[in-house]
Structure 1
Amino acid sequence: MTALKFCLAVAMFMSASSNAASIGAEKAMVKRAACNGNTANDRGSWCDFSIDTNWYDEVPDTGVTREYWLELIETELAPDGFTRSVMTVNGTIPGPTITADWGDELVIHVKNSLSINGTSIHWHGIRQNHTNQNDGVVSITQCASAPGDTYTYRFRATQYGTTWYHSHFSLQAWDGIFGSMVINGPATANYEVDAGPIIIADWFHETAFSLANQALTGAPPTANNGLINGTNVFGDDGSANQTGSRFALDFTSGTSYRLRLINVAIDSHWKFMIDNHTLTVIAIDLVPIEPFTTNIVDIGIAQRYDVIVTADQGAVAKDFWLRFIPQSSCSANDMADNIRGIIHYDGSTGTPNTTQYNFTDECVDMDMSLFVPRVALDVPSDHFYQEIEDVGLSFTTEGTFRWTINGSTMDVQWGDPTVLQILNNDTSFETSQNVIRLDEAEEWAYIIIETTLAVTHPIHVHGHDFYLLAQGTGSFSNDTSLKLTNPPRRDVAMLPASGHVVLAWKTDNPGAWLVHCHIGWHTVAGLAFQFAERISDIPSVIDQNSLSQTCSTWSTFATQNNIVVDDSAFSLLLLYYTSHSN
């Protein structure tokens, strides 16, 4: 039965009449003056720039290179007291935080010390402006990095805010290969202390690889727990058998704190709250917005929210629950009521007895009207309904659940990524690669995604902050109202169950860019396609020598170890493989 329909509209006109920025075009790097401002009372300032600087057109040239060394390691850890096999970055879950300032150059060396797995690292939400090769997507922008190999990623921090990095090879991200990224810059509201990233992950007591067959043949597995910055208890409170430890933050009365919330789950949508406290939301994904207040924040998979909270409830209590509540309408979790941290006031060490806010269990984004970007950009409406190409996506069962587009499951090659094919002038892509060409530069692409199934999908677009023009239940029609004046911009939006989303962006960042559902089980089941954007410009943004070297190393490893694809379940997008010895 037909489950999803993708409609692609490429409006054939230039953008001179629009105030929308040329997102992704080559940036004029402006040498940054000595840094002033960005104090607790003036967070909107940033050196000689400000929160009102259009970062799509202007990027500071800091003259600073931040260099990091990451190593992917297999080990055993017990983040909630239960010991299991994991994959880690530098031996920890989460991995180290990558920190930079807006405009810095980042050089990140990733050594693959996994035993038999290839790998890559994707810098989620980083637009990779004219640096497509560094997007870190196996089979699209690079070959798999072989065990023992080191891959170096180089890109400029042209955005600022909160994001994360993770493996983009099979299910490795959800066995522990993830970490946070903080790019410092201005903010739309003042605060005193940056409390840093708070990463929420659903957690299983088996590896994601071992659970994949269940996910692809029946109902998704039930998570055993959730981890807040890599830790939580497991078991009932008060039980002698409870293991692990809780995440905790120390607050000083009267102080305001910035919290950087990141959902890295494989299949969990969360409601975040701190009992008795009001949250001021100042950014969604990597886009600063006009501040608004709320008691609860809905965080879809792979989304980020920056919030400010003030420690102004000392008259009520000295200890408060910080809660991430998985929504049962999205997925199941054995510890749904106990994925909690503690906020301690003024050195207290007590256990809270505070009460959560009331909420409706649901798997949705917050109302898109709340998200008003500080830097206002519009989307042209001309020719929106012209030159629309329908792309059908069906849900089929062949012993496993697999998604197809134009009747084809996305099936790509670790050793022959899309960008390498383009460099070799081989652009007669296989149907199974699910490639949509966007050949013209500086034009608008619109995509309408709708589903008849009662399942929500977090849709992630690589290479762009998309403009969210519409989001709602029911089918899209010509009568659907589009938000064209300063619509929300972000890199992940929830496709509502039995609903639709309409996204738009400009073709101003040449490369092969993936679009996919960020539920891990759906990704490996092929719910994805790719845009080949401005194919004639792609060779100029690719370092063919480094690309070819990685591919050669992978090819040697795969040949020597007889690495093959298990076609029964995983001949899909980000592929699990088995090693067969002779």
Structure 2
Amino acid sequence: MRPTTLWSAFTTLLATSHVSASSLHNHKRHCHHIGKCKFDPSKSPKCWGDHSLSTNWYDEVPDTGVTREYWLEIQNSTAAIDGVERVVLTVNGSVPGPTIIADWGDNVVVHVHNALENNGTSIHWHGLRQNRTTQHDGVASITQCPVAPKDTITYRFRAEQYGHSWYHSHFATQAWNGVFGGILINGPCSAPYDEDKGVLLLSDWFHNTTDALWSTASAGSPPVAQNGLINGTNIYGNGGKRFETTFEAGKRHRIRLVNTAIDTHYKFMIDNHKMKVVAADLVPIQPYTTEVLSIGIGQRYDVIVEADEDGGDFWLRAYPDMACSAENEMVNNIRGIVRYDASSHKEPTTSAYAYTEDCLDEPMSKLVPYVPLDVESPTVKKDFGLGFAVDTHGLFKWTLDGTDMLSNWGLPTLQQSLIDLSVFKTSSNVVELNEKDAWVYFIIENGPAALGLTHPIHLHGHDFYVLAQEANANYTSATPLQLKNSPRRDVAMLPANGFLVIGFMTDNPGVWLMHCHIGWHASQGFGLQVVERAAEIPPLCDSSSIDSTCAKWSRYVAMKNIVQDDSGI
């Protein structure tokens, strides 16, 4: 697909200027080549100039003085992603969009232009804490109004974490029509490697738009996916193509995995090869080795794979875990190819590793953060029971303590907090936390009343601590909590018929969303909002910019008679 506007031609050049895999750790003018410790991925991967892997990145961040600026355009198009043509939404003319690349400590500026014919948009920077930049979290109806067609919004934030993640639309189910891409923030690593293969995005794919499928999903029936994609590629019938990558024998290859699906939990593996896992979400961990990796929706894992075979061609596999994933026509054929010889055209004959369909996270005992931090007793402790309801129109709603989340595209919660610190007039499931640096525990119980499904829980604005997580069990006051160096991440699985306990500190004033990352479920109301230290929010925000985006959205809504038909997120 070729960009068709002057903006697109210009932005495609600029937004892809840093994305070559060979340059991912070669920014010689930046902080990791200055100071006490020179970063070398193969010999000194824990070094980063005056900082290192041992730096507590919540308290201390390099000051590079560098600004990375990108221009993204959201467009309508048609494409045969897997050989079957359909309407798609693209970022700078492609699915997935260009990777946003920065160094740890850089400032990042992204200009997003909505060139869609008849649709709003927003872009969320998944997993980035947005420390004191809540306005730039990019969630329609929470931190901004949707960006109207022909309007442009600018997001500004600092890369205070390092590793990789993804960006995606946070307006209805638009992300899964193609509005997503990778984020890569260069920094130290907990194990050595020789080659950085960049971000590898795992998706599910439908041959119809998510908008057309919403009526089925909103009635409580998850649509069947036709396919799964690996970095935007796969075959279907006689069309499409396989994802391929090349390993050099004897080298260690770093792969940055992301599950971008709307309703698919993946088991990832590379035949005949083991993976050394070095980070979960954006948190470096003590390395461990596995053959199969369980990746929930929205989760990221950073792995290093040693090319220890003599040569050959090997399947790279992403299996939908059918214990919780929607049906997929290509359940056994979401595959790419790892080749030791780039000129080979052979189809691999290798066999998969055995795995268990359970939709569970990687064990807590393995996800040991490299920088050890402990959790204190809570100032606030809230227990939420998950359930569901069917409204008078026959629409399925997920509820927390009996209430489904509803926010307003035209009056986002952040804007409400700037207008009136005491009343949130049009949003439900709002939790107000006003004490500074207080520990908060959220207990989410997923009992039989919630249909026995598994859910990926994502919190914006924070890495949270996973304190307890168990399937087929009830939470009680006697449930043991892991308070010493528990796993830290921003997406964790809420097990079927079980519970999840997370902890976080109120150290980031703003309005933050917590929600299930199954796209259908978020649109069906599975979420809550945290309004954190409300009195400190106004000085952090440019209210005129928020008001301008909302005014343009209101004019568009009035002109087109747009009606909100989901939870707002």
TM-score, length-normalised on structure 1?
0.89
- Percent identity among equivalent residues? 53
Residue 45 to residue 246, structure 1, CA distance change in 2 (3 Å): same
Amino acid at match of 1:446: Y
Classify 1:275/1:294 alpha carbon distance in 2 versus 1 (closer, same or farther; 3 Å).
same
The correspondence for 1:307, drawn from 303, 319, 335, is: 303
| TM-superposed deviation, 1:156 | 0.2
1:394 and 1:337, CA in 2 relative to 1: closer, same or farther beyond 3 A?
closer
- Given the alignment of the two structures, is residue 93 of structure 1 paired with residue 86 of structure 2, yes or no? no
1:202 pairs with one of 191, 201, 204? 204
Once the 2 structures are TM-superposed, how far is the Cα of residue 32 of structure 1 from its aligned partner?
7.4
Alignment of 1:227-246 (within 5 A): 227-235=229-237, 242-246=238-242
User: Residue 61 of structure 1 aligns to a residue in which SS?
Assistant: coil
For 1:492, the equivalent position in structure 2 comes to 491
The structural deviation recorded for 1:387 is 6.0
Q: Which runs of 4+ in 1 moved over 6 A?
A: 30-33
Give the corresponding residue for 1:457: 455
The Cα of 1:184 is off from its aligned counterpart by 0.3
Identify which of 171, 184, 188 aligns with 1:169.
Answer: 171
SS of equivalent residue, structure 2 residue 458: strand
Mapped to 1, the partners of 2:210 and 2:416 lie a distance apart of: 31
Once the two structures are superposed, residues 497-518 of structure 1 have per-residue CA deviations (whole angstroms, 9 ceiling, x without a partner) of 0010100010010000000000
Equivalent residue number for residue 389 of structure 2:
396
Of 178, 187, 190, the match for 2:180: 178
**RMSD value, Cα:** 1.5
Residue 335 (structure 1) aligns with: 330
* Segment of structure 1 superposing worse, 41-50 or 429-438: 429-438
Unaligned residue ranges in structure 2 (runs of 5+): 1-29
Deviation of 1:409 (Å): 2.6
2:146 aligned residue: 144
Match of 2:360 in 1: 364
> What is the DSSP-based 3-state SS (H/G/I as helix, E as strand, rest coil) of the residue aligned with 1:272?
strand
- Residue aligning to 1:557: 556
* Pair 465,389 (structure 1): closer, same or farther in 2 beyond 3 Å: closer
The answer (yes or no) to whether the contact 2:382–2:441 under 8 Å persists in 1 is no
Distance 1:460 1:325 in 2: 22
Aligned equivalent of 1:216: 218
CA distance in structure 2 between the partners assigned to 1:426 and 1:55 by the alignment: 31
Tell me which residue corresponds to 2:376.
380
1:112 aligns with 2:119: no
Tell me the distance in 2 between the aligned counterparts of 1:375 and 1:254: 30
The residue aligned with 1:471 is 469
- Counterparts of 1:156 and 1:329, CA distance in 2: 38
| Number of equivalent positions | 530
d(CA) in 1 for partners of 2:44, 2:427: 52
CA distance in 1, matches of 2:380, 2:330: 49
Paired position in structure 2 for 1:121: 123
- Structure 2 CA distance, aligned partners of 1:349 and 1:571? 47
What is aligned with 1:438? 433
Structure 2: distance between partners of 1:187 and 1:109: 30
User: What are the superposed Cα offsets for residues 470-513 of structure 1, whole Å, 9 maximum, x if unpaired?
Assistant: 00021111221111000000000000000101000100100000
- The equivalent residue for 1:278 is 274
Secondary structure of 1:554 counterpart: helix
Aligned partners of 2:404 and 2:275: how far apart in 1?
42
User: Aligned ranges for residues 504-515 of structure 1 at < 5 Å?
Assistant: 504-515=503-514
Q: TM-score, normalised by structure 2?
A: 0.91
Pair 1:520-2:544 in alignment: no
Q: Work out the CA distance in 2 between the residues paired with 1:297 and 1:70.
A: 32
Unaligned runs of 5+ in 1: 1-29, 236-241, 575-582
Letter in 1 for 2:317: R
Give the letter for the 1:367 counterpart: P
What CA distance in whole angstroms lies between the structure 2 residues aligned with 1:372 and 1:296? 18
Structure 1 residues 462, 300: closer, same or farther in 2, change over 3 A? Answer: same
Is residue 2:447 matched to residue 1:448? no
CA contact (8 A) 2:458 2:492 kept: yes
Aligned twin of 1:34: 34
Q: Distance in 2 between matches of 1:195 and 1:207?
A: 30
Aligned to 1:3: none
Residues 111 and 148, structure 1, Cα contact 8 Å, conserved in 2:
yes
Counterpart in the other structure of 1:321: 315
Q: Report the AA paired with residue 292 of structure 2.
A: I
Q: Cα deviations across residues 58-80 of structure 1 (Å, max 9, x unaligned)?
A: 10010110000000001001111
1:533 paired residue number: 532
What letter corresponds to residue 401 of structure 1 in structure 2? F
**Quick one: distance in 1 between partners of 2:350 and 2:317?**
11
Is the CA contact 2:407–2:426 (under 8 Å) kept in the aligned structure 1? no
Tell me, in whole angstroms, the C-alpha distance in 1 between the residues paired with 2:519 and 2:459: 15
C-alpha contact (below 8 Å) 2:411/2:426 kept by paired residues: no
Separation (CA, whole Å) in 1 of partners of 2:32 and 2:265: 39
Question: Matched residue of 1:308: which SS?
Answer: strand
